[in-house]
Amino acid sequence: MKLKEAHPSKLYDRTERACAKLARIARADTVFGGAKALVIADRLDRMGSRVPAQAVVGDVYAASNYSCGEWGAYACPECGTAYLGPDKAYACCDPDNPDKEEN
């Protein structure tokens, strides 16, 4: 099944939300031109933020394939829960996933 991008506000962790928002800004920079994400990443680094801003911007800028890559918010194809990165989204409802907690 194909993943759909989720809005960053659907992520639970605020650090993950910040990463996904920054990845969307970086993607817009690669599509439309600009360096807004790089300026924001520099500002976050100067503030001492826990967000890996330089890594997020660098990965999205380097890929430049019109996607947020590993730093985007994606919805699980079955239940719709939002996760940071496509691997976590695919693993959500996977019956073969050993990391999934059983209720």
Residue 98 domain-assigned (yes or no): no
Give the three-class secondary structure for 35.
Answer: coil
Q: What percentage of the chain has pLDDT greater than the value 70?
A: 93
Q: Among 51, 61, 66, 53, which Cα is nearest to 5's?
A: 66
Residue 76 has pLDDT above 50, yes or no: yes
Domain that holds residue 12: 4-91
What single letter denotes the amino acid at residue 69? G
Residue 59 domain-assigned (yes or no): yes
Using a cut of 0.75, tell me whether the model's pTM lies above it: yes
Q: What is the pLDDT of residues 27-71, one digit of tens each?
A: 999 999 999 999 999 999 999 999 999 999 999 999 988 899 999
Number of domains composing the chain: 1
Residue 97 domain-assigned (yes or no): no
CB-facing half-sphere around the CA of 14: CA atoms within 13 A: 2
pLDDT score at 93: 85
CA-to-CA distance for 26 and 79, rounded, in angstroms? 28
CA-to-CA distance for 44 and 38, rounded, in angstroms? 10
Residue 30 domain-assigned (yes or no): yes
